[in-house]
Structure 1
């Protein structure tokens, strides 16, 4: 009799768990204990829904090819074996060198892979090809007593007792399993209630309102935006970048060099007029397209395991901004100044050891630390100001909309120039330090020590948004394109503190920003240019919806006497990622279902929504490895459910 495992979701997370099963099975699953794995996903395995090949070739990753990997390496701190593998760049350089080889079916993808440089930002279709290969390698690496069946189908329901077989209902068959893993990836929900008024307004007046959606799924809806239609895009992040590409190049426009190092946009005449604004009023900072110029900084230095232990040993509740952020920010500053002093010492006025001794001695944002930085770093442009970076338009009031366009074009030009210039590689040092925070952040977030208000306002709302704004922006060429679109009048900036109001008399939206008091624009379409945020209570995933309605899973609720925060995330147990089932009560396992596991962005184990960078000890790899080992140990001792 074979043990049976059903993995629901075959995108990058499901593929990553499969890779860790392949790595750990020789140690934890004896050859006389066969295992059959059913992998369920309506989309192709590897890429899954978000990274499927069937999407516009205009859509790109926001990471360089050399910064994307699906494999553990020598810096991975995992209990299971390290199984190195190529980054996207290494694989693309010679796909034939990596078994099992299969030529990409799309000739455009094949052509892209042949010329892809390590510092290029690949199309998402190129990443889809890489993920397809990673999946096939994971299957090939399974020991002979572990086999896989792929079901291009949707899982609608899972049922079964905690101490017995689980039945997973697909469209036209039922799979019986010893254990079920939910690696469902990025999911959709019914729109947040705060969008209901605009949706109803659009319906009453025959207008268009698009709630948040993933870019590959929004393409068809964008056809409803008419050429020349004045359209407000509320949001200035990655979703905005994709939507603008689809509404401009995707409609036949094109960019060409302007002869002065920039770009000129040649409209097709089918573009709408796009008015964009957000809370900050500026686009996400673009990714750098260079490498560190100095030695890699030893990170983290301040927000490390010892520091988090000390935080957790403190009596009383914790707050992220008050208790943890000073250490986190100091690490970001350390990464910044380590690179500045080592790669550009001519722009510093103190020896590095002397600066570091003072930096170690003073707390973040203290007058003493500020004075040290001013003494050691003469040019203010070389100093790190995290607060100013957060809201660059704060307090700025301009006299006209045209003055705002000019101001934003200068800001974007300076940002794009800086991010393309290795002379400012200290920015990359800060970026790497910011990434390093995720090594210990899950421990703090999973400790139940943060106040409910801090989790809601400082973690879920502020920190993850700030991280995306600083570290998860678009490739630099997207900002050059944005400048060209602004010069062509296709994109118009609204500024910070954007407000969108409904005008029932005219059936139009009126949008304004705080940067130009009194200035408003009128639009007949409103697009929420945000990535959707999954909420369990409104999920559109049929399996989660059924489990939630039957009371077998629970939304994470963080509560204390002063505040209650409903995060929308599926509650899991840290450590082994077992699903918490309210029906199991508060038994010895804390209500953790012994036969159901969940991993990914829809769960309460928060992480950066990004692929792992090589040699960064990715928390995602650690979670995948821990979950895979727990699964294999359980399957090795569970009475088999069915024969494979």
Structure 2
């Protein structure tokens, strides 16, 4: 009997898994050429690009990374058992400048090509079948073949193994969103709940009308583009020329400012030797604690120390003229200090200019305790903040910022082994490391000067009252904005309980474990789905943002260790070993 593997999700994660199967099959599944293996890809969207990177979306939407920082191929920095199979980055494949922020349609073309290459690299006897349908549920005994039921198909796919390689998920509304939606229906208002912006119907947002926007991350950037350039406006240098079809966007969030700009210069010189204070040994110790660990008490201090080390290593090695002691002396003292206040004292004595010191709290909440007397003063203040962020992000004199970015990637690669550690870390990482391209922030400034975008402030509160939506912020005490439209500019939370995906809901009902943050729990070793007693399912795996093994960003930056690659490789090897043993044809 031919082996059968069902992969639910044909986007980048599903493609990455197929690439790792092809790379590992010669070692672990030599019998595949004789016995055969069917790989069934289940996804209503095209293989490779999937939903998010599909070609049928606005060409105005960009990638959020430089083309040289996007790869689907492994290198020797990935800690994995399987072989390295190098391949081109996006910019090498497309023949474009590496510093380009490519549009998502081009990225979709790259992903389709990678998928085709991965399928072509599979051994003889391995066949890939695409089913352009949704998977509804998975059934079958733990020790027996699985059945994957598809929408519109009366008979299931039979599988020896199932891998859920789901990407971004839709979710049912939480209690607040349910109330806001009901209020909007009652009072004939517009309410757009959390969603992938390219899928949202924005036609109800009328020209010239105020729209409250809650969220200042990447979903907001997409919204901003679609409602300005997407409606016929255009940018002429630092000036925005409106079409007259734009609404007026009043945007706020918890921080009240956009995510930090992508850094606009290249790394040169010595890299900080990472990990230093948060590496495998510290992760092993945290995982071994009998009573478990607390993120704020046990993990965050290690993150702070690691990021501080990355920052000061770069400052002392690349900009020694701005320091007041030798790096050897600083490093010895820094390593011995665990108290954050003492580290601040050391930094103050060693680094004269406060702008050269790392203050994570100030970076995280720049408007904390900042107050403006008027709404117009806030507009000026936020523009000045964004302008300063852009200047610093494109000035290599502040290259310790890029070292901190590398430190964030290193930390994320370690934290993946801890499972679900809560939302604080993911939000902090995204804010510092996954912000918009610099040109997008320059466009934001132009739209602000043109009056198309207006800033609301930090800790934005939205109330539904007097037949309208009303937003306010303590950043401008006593000021509020009224509108008949509210947009929640963020992705839905990918929790098991609220996921609209019926497959995940059914898995949860049948006993799949969820993390404290509501994500699907998986075995750290190979991605097998865990039940509520902690047992890994022998025939079901999961990879992606709906699991507590989620990784940073959508794609891997070359030569950064690639935790997603490591996970893909481990799952592929576990699947091949299982399938090989099932047929009795595993490699010796």
TM-score after normalising by structure 2: 0.95
Q: Distance in 2 between matches of 1:575 and 1:247?
A: 44
Deviates more, 1:145-154 or 1:516-525: 145-154
Q: Distance in 2 between matches of 1:165 and 1:310?
A: 38
Alignment equivalent of 2:551, drawn from 583, 597, 607: 607
Give me the whole-angstrom Cα distance separating, in 2, the residues matched to 1:366 and 1:547.
Answer: 46
Superposed, which structure 2 residues align to 1:437-456 within 5 Å? 437-443=411-417, 445-446=418-419
Counterpart in the other structure of 1:13: 13
> Which runs of structure 2 are paired with 1:531-550 in the superposition (5 Å)?
531-548=491-508
Please state whether the residue corresponding to 2:518 is helix, strand or coil: strand
The answer on whether the counterparts of 1:291 and 1:425 sit within 8 Å (CA) in structure 2 is: no
Between the aligned partners of 1:362 and 1:66, the Cα distance in structure 2 is 38
**SS at 1:593 equivalent:** strand
User: What is the 5 A alignment of 1:132-281?
Assistant: 132-170=112-150, 171-172=152-153, 173-218=155-200, 221-257=201-237, 263-281=238-256
The residue aligned with 1:631 is: 575
Question: 1:136: Cα distance to partner?
Answer: 0.7
Q: Which residue, out of 510, 514, 535, partners 1:552?
A: 510
Residue 67 of structure 1: aligned partner:
69
Q: Deviation digits for residues 22-42 of structure 1, max 9, x if unmatched? A: 011111112333211111111
Map 1:325-344 onto structure 2 (within 5 A).
325-344=300-319
Q: CA deviation at 1:62?
A: 1.3
The alpha-carbon distance between structure 1 residues 44 and 386, as it changes in their structure 2 partners (threshold 3 A), is same
Note if contact 1:510-1:522 (Cα within 8 Å) is conserved in structure 2. Answer: yes
* Structure 2 unaligned regions, length at least 5: none
TM superposition shift of 1:555: 4.8
Asked whether 1:482 is paired with 2:444, we answer: yes
Specify the alignment match of 2:520 in structure 1.
570
Q: Are the equivalent residues in 1 in contact too, given 2:145–2:161 (CA < 8 A)?
A: yes
Is the CA contact (8 Å cut-off) linking 1:572 and 1:604 kept in structure 2?
yes
Superposed displacement of residue 439, structure 1: 2.3
Q: C-alpha deviations, 1:96-155, integer Å up to 9, x for none?
A: xxxxxxxxxxxxxxxxxxxx2111211111111111111011001111132211222222
Whether contact under 8 Å (2:46, 2:54) holds in the other structure is yes
Offset, 1:276? 0.7
| TM-aligned CA deviation for residue 426 of structure 1 | 1.2
Q: CA deviation at 1:354?
A: 2.4
Assess if the C-alpha contact under 8 Å between 2:513 and 2:530 holds in 1.
no
Task: Point out where structure 1 has 5 or more consecutive residues left out of the alignment.
Answer: 94-115, 258-262, 447-454, 559-566
How far, CA to CA, are the matches of 1:275 and 1:478 in structure 2? 17
1:362-411 CA-to-partner distances (Å, cap 9, x unmatched) read 225132x2232122222111111001111111111111111111111111
The answer to which of 309-318 and 133-142 deviates more is 309-318
Deviation string 1:144-195 (CA, Å, 9 cap, x unpaired) is 1322112222222322222222222222253222111111111111122221
Q: What is the TM-score normalised by the length of structure 1? A: 0.87
The alpha carbon displacement at 1:487 in A equals 0.5
Q: Distance in 2 between matches of 1:52 and 1:576?
A: 29
The alpha-carbon deviation at position 540 of structure 1 amounts to 1.8
Q: How far did 1:56 drift?
A: 0.9
* Alignment of structure 1 residues 20-419 onto 2, 5 Å: 20-31=20-31, 32-93=34-95, 116-170=96-150, 171-172=152-153, 173-218=155-200, 221-257=201-237, 263-314=238-289, 316-363=291-338, 365-367=340-342, 369-419=343-393
Does the aligned pair in 2 maintain the 1:293–1:339 contact within 8 Å?
Answer: no
Q: Which moved more, 1:614-623 or 1:10-19?
A: 614-623
Distance 2:511 2:290 in 1: 31
Compute the displacement of 1:314 (Å): 4.8
Which residue of 2 is the match for residue 3 of structure 1? Answer: 3
Q: Within 1, Cα distance between the matches of 2:535 and 2:136?
A: 23
C-alpha separation in 2, matches of 1:54 and 1:280:
33
CA contact (8 A) 1:537 1:555 kept: no
Measured after TM superposition, the shift of residue 348 of structure 1 is: 2.2
Q: Quickly say closer, same or farther: Cα 1:24–1:58, change in 2 above 3 A.
A: same
Kindly state the Cα deviation for residue 622 of structure 1 after the two structures are TM-superposed: 1.0
Partner Cα distance (1:54, 1:120) in 2: 21
Q: Distance in 2 between matches of 1:639 and 1:300?
A: 42
The CA RMSD measured in Å over matched residues stands at 1.7
Give CA-to-partner distance per residue, 1:63-98, whole Å, 9 cap, x none: 1111111111011110111111111122222xxxxx
Deviation readout 1:272-304 (Å, 9 max, x if unpaired): 011111111111001102112332211111101
1:74 and 1:615 mapped to 2: Cα distance? 8
Contact 1:237 1:530 in 2 (8 A): yes
